[in-house]
Amino acid sequence: MSSLGFYLLLTAFVVCAYALAASVAGARRRSQRLIESGIGAFYLIAAVMSAASAIIIYAFVAGDYSIKYVARYSDSVQPLFYKITSYWGGLDGSIMFWVFLLSVFGSTAVYVNRERHRELIPYVVAVISVVQMFFLFLMIVHNNPFETYLTETRADGEGLNPLLQNFYMVIHPPTMYTGFVGLTIPYAFGMAALITGYLDDSWLRAVRRWTMISWLFLSVGLGLGMIWAYEELGWGGYWGWDPVENAGLLPWFTATAFLHSVMVQERRGMLRVWNVTLVILTFFLTIFGTFMTRSGIVQSVHAFGEDPELARMFTIFMVSILTISFGFVIYRLPLLRARNELDSWVSREAAFLANNWILLFSAFFVLFATMFPTLSEAVTGERLTVGPPFFNKWMLPIGLVLLLLTGIGPLLAWRKSTLLNLRDQFLIPVAAAAVVGGAIVALGVRVWTSGIAFALCGFVTGTIGQEFWRGARVRQTTTGTDVFTALIGLVARNKRRYGGYIVHIAIVLIFLGFAGEGFKQDEQVLLKPGQQTQVGDFVVRLDAVRVTDDGQKQMITGHTTVFRDGEELARMYPAKWFFRKHEDEPTTEVAIRRSFAEDIYLVMPAFNLEEQSASMQIVINPLVNWVWVGFGLLAVGTLIALLPETVFAFAAARVPANAVTTSLLLLSLVLWPAAVVAQSGQTVSTEQRSALERQLEGEILCTCGCRRPLNDCGMFNCQGHSSQTAKLRQFLSEGQDHDAVIASFVRDFGSEAVLAAPVDRGFNRLAWLFPYLAALTALIAIVVTARRWSHPAALAAAGDAGLDPALSARLDDELRNLD
Amino acid sequence: MSHKAAKLGLTSLVLALAFGALLYSTLGESAQYYKHVEEVMVAPDGWYGTPMQIHGFARDIRRKRDSLEYSFEMHSKGHVVRASYTGIVPDTFKNESEVVLQGTLGPDGFHATGMTAKCPSKYEPQAGGAAGTTGTTAY
């Protein structure tokens, strides 16, 4: 079994090499067959890695303890769930899991984009193959997960560390991994664009979604890690600036920066070098983070074990990444020139730029501080360390500035904000900040950084609230619906933007939790039964220390009662558990009483059964739960931005609304693709085109088979598009006016089918409107009949002509009031 | 172009210098020496009063009755220093466990204000993951 697994890894390596060679050769010789063969090989890697993964999981489940990795990370009594997840429990398996995920993601990305970005695909395959080859190479020569004991035969394994036998620890690493590995895809596309020189914005479109998905996983992974640290490790906090934590944060900074700056490139054609650089840096930092935590280069309290061999291989790989990637950037600089210059510093692009600088600075700062012990040792020979206070001293103001920019960015206009619209935009958010700030001062809050954070939270909330409100109002007037319908319609029409705003609200909530940290209270005491201690508003009394056993573990529990204002608030049971076979590694079971205002967090790190005493750590963590709520909302916001259009069309169509509202909504759905694609930036082009040309582009269909107007063709590099556009330009340059151009197109094409209008508005709209038209006709018929019947015969004699004006006026009224 | 480049360069330079200066000044306050017991105890006099972290193995752990005051010896490669610490100790703090202490050295021994114990050897942090500060760091 183990040798089969190892051979599969070898096979994967060989196939990778072939995919690389075939793709590059195919692209250079323009041989479609070679390229196809490379892509086929690329899919094969995913299959081979799946098989290898299946084997290691089988080994865990079946308990094949002849494999060292299986013996080290599982045992026979482990629940099945943990046996399976032990796959990524250690270094060797986690590298294999990395390759497995990368092969699956890479195949998916190539499959999805193989038509649209045909010219990039061979190099995407090549780049991903190189990365896979590196990790496969590591496994083959250094970290083989299928390695077996040579002579020993083992009956049972050592078991997974109890600390890791926790729900969060099961889902946190793969979430983190998905984020890390997913960020390889944008890098591969970016590199492919650099290599081929197709440096228009098409590669950005291909990777935007991937970056967003990876970012989502990375964020959620960080959040889960924080929850795990908070609930399991029992030191009262959730972030300690440990190198392992920082490793996850580094690419998050640069990926966040990229998600913002990509909009500037889409809208304004600027920051093109910057975006490529960010993609490269993000990928580099995922590898660097892995290297940092794996090779023992950074000394941490975690038992990493130094591994100079691994460090050397990683170093070679990382240096190659940087040299080759930035070599290509420099080589392609002429193609990466910005199409526009910054018009004003009071503009949205400037705000994005500032946000990018700060995020990048954060990444470099965290990197520097994490590496500082290693750097100082290398430079001076003395190992100097910096602790969490140093990180906090720097990251606190940086975080506040970022929060401020979160609020400012949406208020500024693209290109340039005038004084008038500045006043108009900033009034409400600043007022919100002032109200919150004033309230804070009035309440006598003493931690000023937290106070500023609260005021900024008010500012950002004001900004986003205003954006939603104004958008909804505009939509309400244009669609005539109620505010709620308009709000949903607004989000649905502009998912990326409003999804982004929801993420910003999530960030506000997370910062709210961070700000609460300023009011944290922490007390360490030794208590005997009956003794009590006061922490803040709370009194904690130890009632007893009891020992119980459930067969799997021995549990020492401190029974405590918490009082506030003399009233019993809760009974809490912090404990220590001693698992069988892991008696020397007891786990600390934290007792937490949650509420939105604050958490009471009790830990019993030590006890003495003879004395019946327990040392207690009592932490009051104000507002901490908002951090978790924030992470949840962040996921929701990102998902809204990510959801495919069709999901939303369905959801929006079900919005309850009355007749005309619905018809308008449905009409807007007919025009949906245009709106969505427009907002996602596909039509963005800064070439100067006349209004007429743009209007016509919306009226003439592309002939590539997409059945969409020219300005909305979803196919990239499509033939029909360019020929039609060229034709349009030609007609326009001949001085033809709107109708003449339309006529020329119809003449050339042979029928009106080349026009968007009949297709979009003709049958479809008729179909939508038909029920309403039918209802309208029926209504008119009823009104007319009713009037006829109710009028005296004498009047009827006056004839239809006399009735007409009154009837039509009333009809108009009634029709107007119909909705 | 050259004008723009000059402006850009100057701005970057000023920013870089400002950050450098800030970094340097804050580093001076925050940086601590990270030493092994034997490195310090060769010539302890020079280290008196310097905030530092010291790495070694604990032994002869004693606790004052009804308190959280610990007194123990830190040893490494034949050198020994007496250390004291008040507070909650990590689970893994026991005789011959690997410990990193934060604090200052004085003539009467090392006064620790913080203690971090090395994780259990089998604990391997999850790759790329935020594994947190393991071993109940006493903050």
In this predicted model, what pLDDT tens digit does every residue of A39-66 receive, in sequence order?
999 999 999 999 999 999 999 998 888 8
Is there a domain that residue A456 lies in? Answer: no
What's the pLDDT at A794? 44
Interface contact flag, A302 B26, Cβ < 8 Å: no
What's the pLDDT at A720? 58
Of B30, B122, B134, the CB nearest to A390: B30
Could you tell me if A18 and A41 are in contact, meaning their C-beta atoms sit under 8 angstroms apart?
A: yes
Determine the residue of chain A that is closest to B36 in CA distance.
Answer: A383
Do residue A750 and residue A776 come from a single domain?
no
Residue A114 pLDDT class (50, 70, 90 cuts): confident
Determine the residue of chain B that is closest to A252 in CA distance.
Answer: B128
Model-level ipTM above the cut of 0.90 = no
pLDDT tens, residue by residue, A298-314: 655 443 456 778 888 88
Element (H, E) at A522: strand A521-527
Determine the residue of chain A that is closest to B118 in CA distance.
Answer: A301
Do residue A354 and residue A243 come from a single domain?
yes
Domain boundary residue among A569, A602, A627?
A: A627
pLDDT tens, residue by residue, A136-178: 999 998 888 898 887 777 777 777 767 667 777 788 888 988 9
- Nearest C-alpha of chain A: how many angstroms from B91? 7
Mean pLDDT of A438-454: 85
Which of A 81-120 lie inside 8 A of B, CB atoms? 88-91, 94-95, 98
What's the pLDDT at A560? 93
Average pLDDT, chain B: 75
Interface contact flag, A301 B92, Cβ < 8 Å: no
- Nearest C-alpha of chain A: how many angstroms from B106? 19
Domain boundary residue among A112, A129, A160?
A: A160
- Nearest C-alpha of chain B: how many angstroms from A37? 34
Long-range pairs of A82-88 with CB within 8 A, sequence gap ≥ 24: A82/A160, A82/A165, A82/A170, A84/A57, A84/A60, A85/A170, A86/A60, A86/A160, A87/A53, A87/A56, A87/A57, A87/A60, A88/A173, A88/A174, A88/A177, A88/B126, A88/B127
Is there a domain that residue A495 lies in? Answer: no
The pTM of this model reads: 0.76
- Is it the case that residue A815 has pLDDT exceeding 70? no
Q: What is the three-class DSSP state of A235? A: coil
- Nearest C-alpha of chain A: how many angstroms from B108? 24
Give the neighbor-by-neighbor strand order of the sheet with A613-622: A521-527, A613-622, A598-608, A591-593
> How does A129-166 read in b/e, with b if 16+ C-beta sit within 10 Å?
bbbbbbbbebbeeebbbbbbeeeeebeebebbbbbbbe
Residue B117 pLDDT class (50, 70, 90 cuts): confident
Do residue A255 and residue A385 come from a single domain?
yes
Output DSSP code: residue A21.
H
What's the pLDDT at A4? 92
What's the pLDDT at A663? 41
Please tell me which residue, A707 or A612, carries the higher pLDDT value: A612
What's the pLDDT at A563? 93
Identify from A102, A301, A390 which residue to disrupt to test chain B contact, counting B C-beta atoms within 10 A and taking the largest count. A301
- Nearest C-alpha of chain B: how many angstroms from A622? 17
**Number of domains forming the structure of chain A:** 5
pLDDT tens, residue by residue, A761-801: 444 444 445 555 666 766 676 666 666 655 544 444 444 44
Do residue A151 and residue A122 come from a single domain?
yes
pLDDT tens, residue by residue, B56-103: 888 888 888 777 788 999 988 888 889 999 887 777 787 888 888 888
Residue A317 pLDDT class (50, 70, 90 cuts): very high
What's the pLDDT at A477? 85
pLDDT tens, residue by residue, A721-771: 667 777 777 777 777 777 777 777 777 776 666 665 443 344 444 444 555
Please tell me which residue, A610 or A122, carries the higher pLDDT value: A122
Mean pLDDT lowest among A197-211, A605-619, B23-37: B23-37
Count Cβ–Cβ pairs < 8 Å, chain A vs chain B: 190
Is there a domain that residue A463 lies in? Answer: no
What's the pLDDT at A798? 44
- Is it the case that residue B136 has pLDDT exceeding 50? no
Of B23, B126, B138, the CB nearest to A173: B126
Determine the residue of chain A that is closest to B29 in CA distance.
Answer: A390
Do residue A807 and residue A688 come from a single domain?
no
Mean pLDDT of A190-204: 89
Interface contact flag, A524 B68, Cβ < 8 Å: yes
Q: Does A145 touch chain B (CB under 8 A)?
A: no
Interface contact flag, A163 B53, Cβ < 8 Å: no
User: Which span out of A378-387, A535-544, A740-749, B32-41 was modeled with the highest average pLDDT?
Assistant: A535-544
Identify from A302, A304, A393, A579 which residue to disrupt to test chain B contact, counting B C-beta atoms within 10 A and taking the largest count. A302
User: Which span out of A195-209, A576-590, B84-98 was modeled with the highest average pLDDT?
Assistant: A195-209
Domain boundary residue among A160, A183, A206?
A: A160
Mean pLDDT of A625-631: 93
- Nearest C-alpha of chain A: how many angstroms from B85? 13
Please tell me which residue, A634 or A83, carries the higher pLDDT value: A634
Determine the residue of chain A that is closest to B115 in CA distance.
Answer: A301
What's the pLDDT at A374? 81
Pairing label, strands A384-385, B32-36: antiparallel
Which CATH homologous superfamily contains domain B33-117?
Nucleic acid-binding proteins (2.40.50.140)
- Is it the case that residue A552 has pLDDT exceeding 80? no
Do residue A123 and residue A183 come from a single domain?
no
Q: What is the three-class DSSP state of A425? A: helix
pLDDT tens, residue by residue, A661-679: 444 444 444 444 333 333 3
Q: Does B48 touch chain A (CB under 8 A)?
A: no
Question: Where do runs of H (alpha helix) occur along A269-347?
Answer: 272-294, 308-331
Is there a domain that residue A722 lies in? Answer: yes
What's the pLDDT at B10? 87
Determine the residue of chain A that is closest to B16 in CA distance.
Answer: A361
Interface contact flag, A302 B53, Cβ < 8 Å: no
Is there a domain that residue A16 lies in? Answer: yes
- Nearest C-alpha of chain A: how many angstroms from B74? 17
Do residue A810 and residue A707 come from a single domain?
no
Q: Does A337 touch chain B (CB under 8 A)?
A: no
Question: Where do runs of H (alpha helix) occur along A645-690?
Answer: 645-653, 659-670, 672-679
Do residue A232 and residue A201 come from a single domain?
yes
Q: Does B28 touch chain A (CB under 8 A)?
A: no
Do residue A176 and residue A130 come from a single domain?
no
Of B19, B67, B119, the CB nearest to A302: B119
Chain A CB contacts of B118 below 8 Å:
301, 303
Mean pLDDT lowest among A168-172, A461-465, A749-753, B127-131: B127-131
Do residue A228 and residue A336 come from a single domain?
yes
Identify from A98, A298, A300 which residue to disrupt to test chain B contact, counting B C-beta atoms within 10 A and taking the largest count. A300
CA dihedral A743, A747, A749, A751 (to 10 degrees): 80
- Domain limits, chain B: 1-31, 33-117
Do residue A188 and residue A201 come from a single domain?
yes
Chain A CB contacts of B93 below 8 Å:
none
- The residue segments making up the domain with residue A11 are 1-160
Token pair of A131, please? Answer: 């990365």
Interface contact flag, A161 B137, Cβ < 8 Å: no
Residue A811 pLDDT class (50, 70, 90 cuts): low
pLDDT tens, residue by residue, A515-530: 988 888 888 888 888 8
Interface contact flag, B130 A242, Cβ < 8 Å: yes
Do residue A701 and residue A605 come from a single domain?
no
